[in-house]
Amino acid sequence: MTTGAFPLPAITHAALAALTAVLTLASAPAHAVGRLADITIVDRDTGATLPVHYAKGEYWVAGRPGARYAVTVHNRSGERLLAVPSVDGVNVLSGETAAWDQRGYVFSPYERYQITGWRKSSSEVAAFEFSSIANSYAGRTGRPANVGVIGVALFREQQPVAVPSITPEPYRQRREARDSAELQRSMPSAGALPPPPAAAAPAPTAEADSSAAGPSALSEQRSANSSVAKSMPAPSLRLGTAHGQRETSVVSHTTFTRLQDQPNEVISIRYDSRANLVASGVIREQPARVPSPRAFPQSDNVSYVPDPH
């Protein structure tokens, strides 16, 4: 076989194609955020998981005005986790301004659950809906400063301390010990034996956090100011999360003792409309490709015999 220049371009093109594919995958937006648990945002009207864009040191998703959405939590660990969720700086279970020490959802090992709205009772929520800040729950309750961010604080569980069991002595051993003690007391030269030490009382257990709440059991950041480049279109009104229609969502109560006061992980995902994220440079849209001029445009078209009329 003779070697020539023909195989080389094919190899080169294949290598370039593979490299392009790798670069495309590397630059593609992710969908889940988190280490102890995967946190994703789902558009409930389309069923699509929103792509997560990393820009300016933060995670972002683009929401559609008027669309219902859910915060999906997937426990990746083999132990229970407490997830304290907030939307727009508000605790989604209690309606309080969000703090780490508040109520949340308890997740069994490897459990996945969608948080679909503001909890109204153990059987009902008001759906999360992307809307204007003026119509957002935080805005309508006088707390618009933190509109545009979804947060989940994750806590690991304190495991109970194992207490060793005490095996009672057989009756014969207890009787022999009692007879031996009486014999020692009856001997004139023997001094009184000290009583055996009392068994140590068990250590008190930590009080469980009775306000934990979850999918199987109910338990217990700053405003999104978009910087607009002069060459980019002006942004539209920023998004918030409304107090939508009531829906059935049944949970129950359980207890959960946190391993520590500080969260083991805090996840924050900011959101806004796609137009605003493009205008602020979070999402970079590829410009439309303009075809290059061709030297022989008519010769590029291969023609064959046409059918007769």
Per-residue pLDDT of 289-298, as tens digits, reads 777 887 877 7
Arithmetic mean of pLDDT, 249-263 = 96
- Whose CA is closest to 34, among 107, 126, 141, 133? 107
- Which residues, in sequence order, are CB contacts of 100 under 8 Å at separation 6+? 84, 153, 261, 262, 263, 266
Q: What is the per-residue pLDDT across 55-103, written as a single tens digit (0 to 9) for each?
A: 999 999 999 999 999 999 999 999 999 999 999 999 999 999 999 999 9
pLDDT of residue 277: 96
Q: Return the percentage of the chain with pLDDT > 70, whole number.
A: 66
Q: Indicate the pTM of the whole model.
A: 0.66
Gap between the Cα atoms of 287 and 290, Å rounded: 9
3-state secondary structure of 139: helix
- Torsion sign (Cα): 168, 173, 176, 181: negative
| Residue 119 burial (CB count, 10 A) | 23
What CA–CA distance (Å, rounded) separates 278 from 229? 10
Task: Assign residue 251 a region (left: φ > 0; alpha: ψ between -120 and 50; beta: otherwise).
Answer: beta
- Token pair recorded at residue 161: 């301390």
Q: Is the dihedral of CA 137, 142, 147, 153 positive or negative?
A: negative
What pLDDT score was predicted for residue 294?
79
Residue-level pLDDT at 304: 78
Query: What 3-state class would DSSP assign to 58?
Result: strand
Closest residue by Cα to residue 246 from 148, 128, 70: 128
CB 254 within 8 A of CB 202: no
Q: Residue holding tokens 């670069």? A: 23
CA dihedral 54, 59, 63, 68 (to 10 degrees): 140
User: Which range, 37-46, 173-182, 280-289, 300-309, is most confident?
Assistant: 37-46
Asked whether the beta carbons of 227 and 111 are under 8 A apart, the reply is no
Read off the DSSP letter of residue 37: E
